[in-house]
């Protein structure tokens, strides 16, 4: 993330107590140009580079303004389906984004199959396995 911010974000400044320079997270428009993919590969993003650039391009040039932000007001199924339209976004990534989105109307929790009982006790108490669980009701 730091490399992404340093190379494509806007410089915010530094604190007087250190020499570290802080950058914001780059906008989709900053990552949308086709040349970004090759540069991200050079920065070590590997196969993710094409998905970062393609998704940024979709959000910046094909979706309406504030589309991503508007997903906060959508129901969980609609928000998830909308995210699945993006390049490289599958069900697990969509669930992660929706679960991290600070929206009171969205109800999702991203769990890894390797999660331990202390992190998701409701799954382990139900007697179900994590394999194949995508929703709770």
Give catalytic residue positions.
Answer: 92
Query: Cα angle at 88 between 65 and 122, to 5 degrees?
Result: 95
Percent of the chain as helix, strand, coil, to the nearest 5? 45, 5, 45
Smallest CA-to-CA distance from 106 within 66, 78, 75, 70 is with 75
Residue 30 CA to residue 7 CA, distance in Å, equals: 10
Half-sphere exposure of 115 (CA within 13 A, CB side): 17
Collapsing DSSP states into helix, strand and coil, what is residue 96?
helix
- Joined together, the tokens standing for residue 114 give 């390797």
């Amino acid at each position: 993330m730091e490399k992404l911010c340093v190379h494509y974000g806007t410089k915010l400044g530094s604190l007087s107590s250190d020499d570290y320079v802080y950058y914001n997270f780059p906008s989709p428009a900053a990552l949308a140009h086709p040349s970004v993919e090759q540069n991200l590969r050079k920065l070590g993003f590997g196969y993710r580079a094409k998905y970062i650039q393609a998704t940024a391009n979709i959000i910046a040039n094909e979706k309406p303004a504030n589309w991503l932000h508007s997903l906060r007001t959508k129901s969980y199924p609609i928000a998830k389906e909308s995210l699945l339209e993006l390049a490289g976004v599958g069900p697990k990534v969509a669930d992660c984004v929706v679960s991290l989105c600070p929206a009171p109307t969205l109800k999702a929790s991203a769990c890894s199959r390797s999660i331990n009982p202390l992190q998701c006790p409701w799954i382990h108490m139900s007697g179900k396995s994590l394999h194949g669980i995508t929703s709770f009701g």
